[in-house]
């Protein structure tokens, strides 16, 4: 059942960061988060639902997001996820790590910066 | 979120699982709907939109599971559901479950029970201070009272005193009377009255050093001390055992005010020994300990306190910390020479001095205590231990086989579940839980079984009158061990197939069961298990056969007397207060004999000091004109005039005792045929004289008759050296009374007891039984081993048969497809049966081929337990092989028959 690796698959561990980044703009439910990530990345990134919900619950378990029930755009009961202050800190740390890493990889690949 | 909050949430999760699940489902449903809407907006048809949404979404079950896992509650939750699921799965196949549970229970239970007994008899240390420092003078295989010049097993009390003073190697020395005295005594209340009937009390005489030297404390009051043993006859004190205090005095806290009456003496209770202390002899816990200084007051009133050459004591010493066993042995042997020669009444004849100089006392470590039952039971118990260990192996093989077959049959189920999104680790854990449920349930049953079996065993080894006082609490270490072995087996073999199955490519497994691929699926592990089960069963069956034949042979040995129709009982005359040489005692005996002989249905009756297997009084005899070998011990039996008629021991020459042989006439003796031939000069020994023991003039006897040899101590003994003396000439404080009767045992028994009571209603009658029973009881060991090994042998065969049945049923079900094809192509039903049977027979044949040499080797190990034949016994071997073949063929027959019943069309449609 293994599929060949695809650029569309989100690197392991970065999904958490992307979710946190998405929630920085305000509370959102699962579908909205997927939509935002996919649109913002111009459909280059595709969020597998199989990963999304476990990731959300993992984040909630770690106290990085909190959730409350609300009403969705189509008037259905939906669970909205909100970034906590702990989540904000984690996001900035993760973003820092990410920048450091992409820069390092860029250097190795010989890309110029600035 | 702090730790307490975290924990609180986790626990809430556990209880609000359902809520969480519903929320999650709703959340995902919304997601799907929104996505479908999105696809619809893009112009897809509703069906296509739903499909695309689902495709993108993935496996919802798996998401749910992983989401739950993210909350960390999955492990605990799934554990519970696995247990429920496992139990349900077990109930679905009750036959397998019952067999597996029984295998486990018997494997664990039998091992634990037998080992617990083995432990109590052989291995456990005495509950005293530093038991490893204790040593025994001699080997500890003798008890009684003797009057030799020197002995390496038993010692006189004065010898113990001297050794205590002169030795340089022991920090303490104690002496223990080598027999417990069985006394019918009374417990008195504060006013010195007895409000109960007399009761049997086992009294052990010990030196005053006994308790202090062993380091045993009192539970109540004090123990005995050196002062109690300082001078003869004036220290009537007694220390009770904890068991007796509890049993007979209802743990009375004021017990120190009460008294015990033994014979005619009233003893003060000064203490109760510590709860754990049962004495120094395993299997003989005394009810009370009395200082040796009171020996004459405790019936039968042995006179041994001041006699330098009356040996009756076991002597134990506690090694000083820096003294080795070798140093102690040297010191003790040096002192033995000095002390024996130094006694003022030592007869320093050349013969005695020669004997003394050749005497060497070995020291035996006695951390585990003395024991007469140890020698008796150590071999049978070890054999039984080996037997049950094999049964444990077979049980494990059986469980392995059953679980293996079952789990393999479930490979497809596992594949389906994996395809539906179950994780591999999750499946493995579930099978593990199932095996665990099975193993633990079996283990619990096993513990229950062990408890029951333990009591049963103890009753079997006890002599019928009293249960052996052994602490046979279950051995927890062994229980743990057997538990671990069986549980590991269950888990291992229950889980191996899970690993195997889940590693497979799913699509292959899903297709499995179709085509010959499944039929070819060999199961070498299961086959190896069956072969080893068969081999082990054969070994056990052969062993059982040997022990059974041995028992039969033993029961066919002619004891030399007629064991049928003899009532025997014990008449105790302590209460009369007559001493051994009191003529009134002999008069009482004669009166009883004549009164009982006259009863209707009674053919003959007689007192005797021994009948069969009751210990002995042995002494050398000295025949003039013959080289006297004082090492040939002759059993001396003091009997009444009617003894030979009662026992039906045939007279060969001369006459037996008559009323003409009195205290004042020439002392006479009747000898056994064997001594007539070996110890007397050729020719007729009747009329010859011989000396007994110390060869003093008053111990001169004339042979008046020769009787056929009769067994004296055991059915297996070879030397039948018995010399019979008349109690009218050689007084004896009897116990044994034998009555030959015809008719109903209980009627005779009642009328005999009544007759005895009518003569003197104070005498006590006990141990009423038959001679046959008494003889049969001496083969308890052999019977125990034969019965138990037969039981376990049959059990082993049964387990193997089940193993074979299980394996073959499985194989047949796997091959249904293939069989269908064969039959469709024209194979006869008998061919199909044979196809299956052939496989079984091959496995059984291999098992037997392996089993035979092992069984033959094992025979040699038990050779000296066997009676009437040596080692390799073709009958037992053949019987075992035939039985095994029959049973295993039967076990294979049903699957084979089922295979032949396969309907080809049905089989081809199968799966």
What does the alpha-carbon distance between residue B786 and residue B876 come to, in Å, rounded to a whole number?
13
Position A54 in a domain: yes
Q: Which of A10, A3, A20, A6 is nearest to A95 (CA)?
A: A20
B98 contact partners, CB below 8 Å, separation of at least 6: none
Give chain B positions within 8 Å (CB) of A58: 70
Answer whether residue B305 shows pLDDT above 80: yes
Average pLDDT, chain A: 81
CB within 8 Å: A57 and B67? yes
Which among A48, A55, A74 has the least Cβ separation from residue B58?
A48
For residue B700, the cross-strand partners are B691
Answer whether residue A32 shows pLDDT above 60: yes
Q: What is the DSSP letter of B421?
A: T
Given pLDDT bands bounded at 50, 70 and 90, which one contains residue B624? confident
Position A3 in a domain: no
**DSSP readout, A10-38?**
PPTTHHHHHHHHHHTTS-B-HHHHHHHHH
Q: What is the pLDDT of residue A8?
A: 45
Given pLDDT bands bounded at 50, 70 and 90, which one contains residue B70? low
Longest dimension (CA), chain A: 51
Q: What is the pLDDT of residue B267?
A: 93
Query: Any alpha helices (H) in B512-604, and if so which ranges?
Result: 516-519, 524-556, 583-597
ipTM: 0.79
CB within 8 Å: B31 and A72? no
pLDDT exceeding 90 applies to what percent of chain A? 9
B225 compared with B49, residue with greater pLDDT? B225
- Strand locations in B128-264 (E): 134-137, 170-177, 181-188, 199-206, 218-221, 237-240, 259-262
Tracing tokens 């111990």 back to the chain, one arrives at B699
Q: What is the pLDDT of residue A3?
A: 39
Contact B458, B118 (CB under 8 A): no
What does the alpha-carbon distance between residue B202 and residue B284 come to, in Å, rounded to a whole number?
9
Q: What is the CA radius of gyration of chain B?
A: 38
What does the alpha-carbon distance between residue A54 and residue B490 come to, in Å, rounded to a whole number?
35
Position A4 in a domain: no
B24 CB near a chain A CB, below 8 Å? yes
Q: Which of B362, B327, B355 is nearest to B152 (CA)?
A: B362
B625-631 CB contacts, 8 Å cutoff, 24+ apart: B625/B681, B626/B679, B626/B680, B626/B681, B630/B351, B630/B355
Nearest chain A residue to B7, by CA = A61
B258 CB near a chain A CB, below 8 Å? no
Contact A94, A16 (CB under 8 A): yes
**Mean pLDDT within B433-458:** 84
Which among B1, B23, B70 has the least Cβ separation from residue A79?
B23
Contact B212, B129 (CB under 8 A): no
Answer whether residue B2 shows pLDDT above 60: no
**Mean pLDDT within B202-223:** 93
What does the alpha-carbon distance between residue B590 and residue B603 come to, in Å, rounded to a whole number?
16
Nearest chain B residue to A31, by CA = B31
Interface test with B, best of A36, A48, A49, A67 (most B CBs within 10 A): A49
Q: What is the pLDDT of residue B514?
A: 42
Give chain B positions within 8 Å (CB) of A31: 30-31, 34-35
Q: What is the DSSP letter of B133?
A: G
What does the alpha-carbon distance between residue B41 and residue B49 come to, in Å, rounded to a whole number?
9
Position A21 in a domain: yes
Whether the bond between B300 and the residue before it is cis, its omega within 30 degrees of 0, is yes
CB within 8 Å: B71 and A54? no
A43 compared with B168, residue with greater pLDDT? B168
Q: Tokens for B395, please give them.
A: 């049980």
How many beta-carbon pairs under 8 angstroms link A with B?
60
A62-65 CB contacts, 8 Å cutoff, 24+ apart: A63/A87, A63/B1, A64/A16, A64/A20, A64/A90, A65/A19, A65/A20, A65/A23
B551 contact partners, CB below 8 Å, separation of at least 6: B779, B782, B783, B786, B867
B16 CB near a chain A CB, below 8 Å? no
**Mean pLDDT within B223-230:** 93
Q: Tokens for B200, please give them.
A: 């049997």
Task: Give the per-residue SS3 of B593-618.
Answer: HHHHHCCCCEEEEEEECCCCCCCCEE
What does the alpha-carbon distance between residue B737 and residue B606 come to, in Å, rounded to a whole number?
6
Instruction: Tell me which of A35-39, A91-95, B231-235, B807-811 is least confident.
Output: B807-811
Nearest chain A residue to B29, by CA = A78
Answer whether residue B442 shows pLDDT above 50: yes
Average pLDDT, chain B: 82
**Mean pLDDT within A42-60:** 81
Query: Any alpha helices (H) in B71-182, and if so which ranges?
Result: 74-92, 94-118, 157-166
Q: What is the CA radius of gyration of chain A?
A: 16
Q: What is the pLDDT of residue B409?
A: 67
Other CB atoms within a 10 A radius of the CB of residue B688 amount to 20
Answer whether residue B156 shows pLDDT above 90: yes
**Mean pLDDT within B472-484:** 75
Which among A30, A31, A49 has the least Cβ separation from residue B58?
A49
Answer whether residue A87 shows pLDDT above 70: yes
CB within 8 Å: B34 and A50? no
Contact B498, B363 (CB under 8 A): no
Handedness of CA B430, B436, B442, B445 (dihedral sign): negative
Q: What is the pLDDT of residue A11?
A: 62
Contact B679, B632 (CB under 8 A): yes
Q: pLDDT digits over B246-255, tens only?
A: 988 888 898 8
CA B139 to chain centre: 23
CB within 8 Å: A30 and B30? yes
Which among B31, B62, B66 has the least Cβ separation from residue A31?
B31
Instruction: Tell me which of B31-35, B131-135, B290-294, B447-451 is least confident.
Output: B31-35
CB within 8 Å: A53 and B67? yes
Q: Count each helix (H run) and each strand (E run) in chain B, helices first.
A: 27, 23
Answer whether residue B208 shows pLDDT above 90: yes
What does the alpha-carbon distance between residue B241 and residue B468 come to, in Å, rounded to a whole number?
15
What does the alpha-carbon distance between residue A26 and residue A83 come to, in Å, rounded to a whole number?
8
Give chain A positions within 8 Å (CB) of B70: 54-55, 57-58, 61
Give chain A positions within 8 Å (CB) of B58: 48-50
Which among B33, B35, B66 has the least Cβ separation from residue A54?
B66
CB within 8 Å: B30 and A49? no
B8 CB near a chain A CB, below 8 Å? no
B75 compared with B37, residue with greater pLDDT? B37
Q: What is the pLDDT of residue B566?
A: 93
Give chain A positions within 8 Å (CB) of B33: 74, 76
CATH code, A24 = 1.10.10.10
Answer whether residue B500 shows pLDDT above 70: no
**Mean pLDDT within B84-89:** 80
Give chain A positions within 8 Å (CB) of B69: 54
pLDDT exceeding 70 applies to what percent of chain B? 88
Given pLDDT bands bounded at 50, 70 and 90, which one contains residue B792? confident
pLDDT exceeding 90 applies to what percent of chain B? 23
CB within 8 Å: A50 and B66? yes
Give chain B positions within 8 Å (CB) of A55: 70
Tracing tokens 């009133």 back to the chain, one arrives at B301
What does the alpha-carbon distance between residue A26 and residue A33 come to, in Å, rounded to a whole number?
10
Cα B159–Cα B215–Cα B367 angle in degrees, nearest 5: 75
Interface test with A, best of B67, B72, B505 (most A CBs within 10 A): B67
Tracing tokens 């109590």 back to the chain, one arrives at B120
Q: Which of B311, B365, B302, B290 is nearest to B137 (CA)?
A: B365
Nearest chain B residue to A71, by CA = B30
Tracing tokens 């009191």 back to the chain, one arrives at B582
Q: What is the DSSP letter of B124?
A: P
B71 CB near a chain A CB, below 8 Å? yes
Q: What is the pLDDT of residue B850?
A: 92
Domain chopping of chain B, boundaries:
3-72, 74-124+376-512, 131-367, 518-560+773-911, 574-762
B855 contact partners, CB below 8 Å, separation of at least 6: B538, B539, B542, B543, B877, B880
B815 compared with B276, residue with greater pLDDT? B276
B495: closest CA of chain A, how far (Å): 24
CB within 8 Å: B71 and A48? no
Give chain B positions within 8 Å (CB) of A72: 30, 34
Give chain A positions within 8 Å (CB) of B420: none
CB within 8 Å: A61 and B72? yes
B72 CB near a chain A CB, below 8 Å? yes
Contact B601, B740 (CB under 8 A): no
Q: What is the DSSP letter of B570?
A: E
Instruction: Tell me which of B155-164, B415-424, B544-553 is least confident.
Output: B415-424
Other CB atoms within a 10 A radius of the CB of residue B225 amount to 16
Give chain A positions within 8 Å (CB) of B25: none
Answer whether residue A70 shows pLDDT above 90: no
Instruction: Tell me which of A50-54, B266-270, B701-705 is least confident.
Output: A50-54
Other CB atoms within a 10 A radius of the CB of residue B673 amount to 18
Nearest chain A residue to B36, by CA = A31
B829-834 CB contacts, 8 Å cutoff, 24+ apart: B829/B900, B829/B901, B830/B900, B832/B896, B832/B899, B832/B900, B832/B902, B833/B896, B833/B897, B833/B899, B833/B900, B834/B896
Q: pLDDT digits over B556-613, tens only?
A: 888 899 999 999 998 887 777 777 778 888 888 999 999 999 999 999 999 998 888 8
Task: Give the dihedral of Cα atoms B698, B702, B705, B711; nearest 10 deg.
Answer: 40
Interface test with A, best of B4, B21, B31 (most A CBs within 10 A): B31
Position A70 in a domain: yes
**Mean pLDDT within B341-365:** 88
What does the alpha-carbon distance between residue B556 and residue B563 come to, in Å, rounded to a whole number?
12
Give chain B positions within 8 Å (CB) of A50: 57-59, 62-63, 66
Other CB atoms within a 10 A radius of the CB of residue A69 amount to 12
- Phi and psi at B240, nearest 5°, equal -90, 155
Residue range(s) defining the domain that contains residue A65: 14-108
**Mean pLDDT within B605-631:** 80
Answer whether residue B518 shows pLDDT above 70: no
Answer whether residue B741 shows pLDDT above 90: yes
CB within 8 Å: B30 and A50? no
Other CB atoms within a 10 A radius of the CB of residue A56 amount to 25
Q: What is the pLDDT of residue B148?
A: 80
Q: pLDDT digits over B835-866, tens only?
A: 888 888 888 999 999 999 988 888 777 777 77
Tracing tokens 């935002």 back to the chain, one arrives at A36
- Strand locations in B189-236 (E): 199-206, 218-221
**Mean pLDDT within B166-176:** 94
Handedness of CA B373, B378, B379, B383 (dihedral sign): positive
Contact B218, B272 (CB under 8 A): yes
Task: Give the dihedral of Cα atoms B837, B838, B842, B848; nearest 10 deg.
Answer: 50
**DSSP readout, B382-419?**
HHHHHHHHHHHHHHHHHHHHHHHHHHHHTHHHHHHHHH
Q: What is the pLDDT of residue B517?
A: 39
- Phi and psi at B296, nearest 5°, equal -70, -20
């Amino acid at each position: 059942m293994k599929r060949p690796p695809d650029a569309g698959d989100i690197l392991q561990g970065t999904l958490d960061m992307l979710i946190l980044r998405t929630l920085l703009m305000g509370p959102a439910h699962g579908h909205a988060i997927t939509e935002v990530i996919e649109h913002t990345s111009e459909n280059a990134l595709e969020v597998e639902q199989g990963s999304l919900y476990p990731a959300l619950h993992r984040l909630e378990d770690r106290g990085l997001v909190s959730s409350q029930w609300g009403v969705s755009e189509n008037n259905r009961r939906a669970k909205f996820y909100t970034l906590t202050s702990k989540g904000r800190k984690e996001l900035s740390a993760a973003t820092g790590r990410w920048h450091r890493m992409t820069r390092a990889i860029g250097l190795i690949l010989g890309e110029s910066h600035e | 979120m702090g730790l307490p909050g975290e924990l609180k949430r986790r626990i809430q999760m556990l209880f609000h699982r359902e809520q969480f699940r519903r929320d999650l489902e709703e959340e995902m449903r919304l997601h799907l709907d929104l996505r479908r809407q999105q696809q619809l907006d893009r112009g897809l048809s509703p069906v296509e939109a739903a499909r695309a949404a689902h495709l993108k979404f993935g496996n919802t079950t798996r998401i749910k599971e992983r989401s739950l896992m993210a909350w960390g509650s999955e492990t605990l939750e799934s554990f519970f559901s696995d247990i429920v699921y496992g139990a349900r799965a077990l109930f679905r196949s009750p036959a397998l479950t019952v067999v597996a549970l029984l295998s486990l229970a018997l494997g664990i239970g039998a091992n634990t029970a037998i080992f617990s007994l083995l432990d109590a008899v052989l291995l456990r240390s005495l509950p005293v201070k530093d038991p490893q420092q204790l040593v025994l003078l001699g080997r500890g295989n003798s008890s009684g009272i003797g009057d030799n010049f020197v002995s390496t097993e038993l010692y006189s009390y004065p010898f113990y005193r001297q050794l205590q003073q002169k030795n340089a190697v022991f920090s303490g020395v104690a002496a223990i009377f080598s027999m417990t005295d069985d006394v019918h005594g009374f417990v008195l209340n504060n006013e010195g009255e007895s409000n109960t009937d007399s009761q049997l009390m086992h009294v052990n005489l010990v030196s005053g050093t006994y308790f202090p030297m062993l380091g045993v404390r009192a539970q109540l009051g004090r123990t005995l001390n050196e002062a109690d043993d300082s001078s003869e006859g004036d220290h009537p004190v007694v220390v009770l055992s904890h068991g007796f205090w509890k049993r007979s005095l209802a743990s009375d806290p004021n017990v120190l005010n009460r008294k015990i009456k033994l014979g005619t003496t009233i003893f003060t209770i000064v203490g109760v020994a510590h709860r754990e202390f049962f004495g120094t002899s395993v299997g003989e816990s005394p009810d009370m300990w009395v200082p040796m200084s009171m020996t004459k007051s405790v019936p039968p009133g042995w006179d041994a306190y001041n006699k330098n050459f009356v040996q009756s004591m076991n002597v134990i010493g506690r090694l000083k910390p820096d003294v080795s066993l070798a140093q102690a042995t040297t010191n003790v042997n040096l002192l033995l020479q000095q002390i024996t020669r130094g006694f003022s009444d030592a007869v320093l004849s050349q013969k005695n001095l020669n004997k003394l100089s050749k005497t060497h006392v070995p020291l035996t470590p006695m951390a585990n205590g003395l024991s007469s039952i140890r020698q008796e039971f150590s071999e049978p118990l070890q054999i039984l231990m080996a037997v049950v260990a094999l049964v444990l192996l077979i049980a494990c093989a059986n469980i392995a086989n059953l679980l293996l077959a079952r789990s393999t049959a479930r490979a497809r189920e596992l594949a389906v579940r994996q395809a539906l999104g179950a994780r591999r680790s999750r499946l493995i854990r579930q099978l593990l839980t199932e095996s665990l449920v099975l193993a633990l349930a079996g283990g619990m049953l096993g513990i229950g079984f062990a408890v029951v079996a333990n009591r049963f065993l103890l009753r079997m080894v006890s002599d019928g009158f009293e249960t052996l006082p052994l602490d046979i609490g279950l051995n927890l270490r062994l229980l743990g061990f057997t538990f671990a072995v069986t549980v590991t087996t269950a888990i291992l073999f229950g889980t191996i197939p899970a690993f195997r199955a889940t590693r497979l490519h799913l699509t292959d497994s899903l297709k499995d069961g179709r085509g010959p691929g499944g039929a070819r699926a060999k199961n070498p592990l299961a086959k190896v298990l069956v072969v080893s089960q068969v081999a082990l069963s054969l070994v056990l069956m052969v062993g059982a056969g040997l022990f059974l034949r041995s028992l039969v042979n033993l029961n066919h040995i002619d004891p030399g007397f007629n064991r049928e129709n003899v009532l025997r009982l014990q008449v105790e005359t302590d209460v009369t207060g007559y001493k051994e040489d009191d003529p009134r005692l002999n008069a009482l005996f004669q009166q009883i004999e004549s009164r009982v002989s006259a009863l209707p249905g009674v053919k003959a009756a007689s007192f005797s000091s021994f009948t069969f297997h009751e210990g002995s009084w042995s002494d050398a005899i000295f025949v003039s004109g013959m080289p006297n070998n004082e090492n040939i011990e002759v059993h001396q039996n003091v009997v009444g005039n009617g003894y030979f008629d009662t026992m039906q021991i045939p007279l060969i020459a001369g006459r037996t005792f008559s009323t003409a042989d009195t205290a004042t006439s020439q002392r006479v003796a009747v000898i056994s045929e064997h001594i007539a031939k070996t110890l007397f000069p050729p020719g007729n020994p009747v009329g010859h004289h011989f000396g007994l023991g110390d060869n003093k003039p008053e111990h001169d006897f004339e042979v008046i008759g020769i009787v056929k040899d009769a067994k004296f101590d055991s059915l297996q003994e070879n030397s039948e050296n018995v010399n019979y003396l008349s109690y009218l000439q050689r007084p004896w404080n009897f116990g044994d009374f034998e009555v030959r009767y015809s008719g109903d045992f209980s009627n005779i028994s009642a009328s005999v007891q009544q007759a005895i009571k009518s003569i003197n209603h104070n005498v006590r009658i006990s141990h009423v039984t038959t001679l046959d029973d008494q003889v049969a009881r001496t083969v308890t060991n052999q019977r125990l081993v034969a019965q138990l090994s037969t039981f376990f042998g049959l059990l082993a065969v049964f387990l193997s048969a089940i193993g074979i049945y299980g394996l073959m049923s499985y194989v047949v079900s796997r091959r249904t497809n293939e069989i269908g094809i064969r039959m469709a192509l024209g194979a006869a039903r008998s061919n199909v049966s044979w196809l299956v049977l052939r496989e079984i027979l091959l496995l059984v044949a291999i098992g037997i081929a392996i089993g035979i040499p092992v069984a033959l080797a094992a025979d040699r190990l038990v050779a000296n337990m066997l009676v009437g034949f040596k080692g390799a016994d073709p009958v037992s071997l053949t019987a075992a092989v035939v039985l095994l073949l029959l049973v295993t063929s039967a076990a294979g027959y049903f699957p084979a028959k089922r295979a032949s019943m396969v309907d080809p069309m049905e089989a081809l449609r199968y799966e």
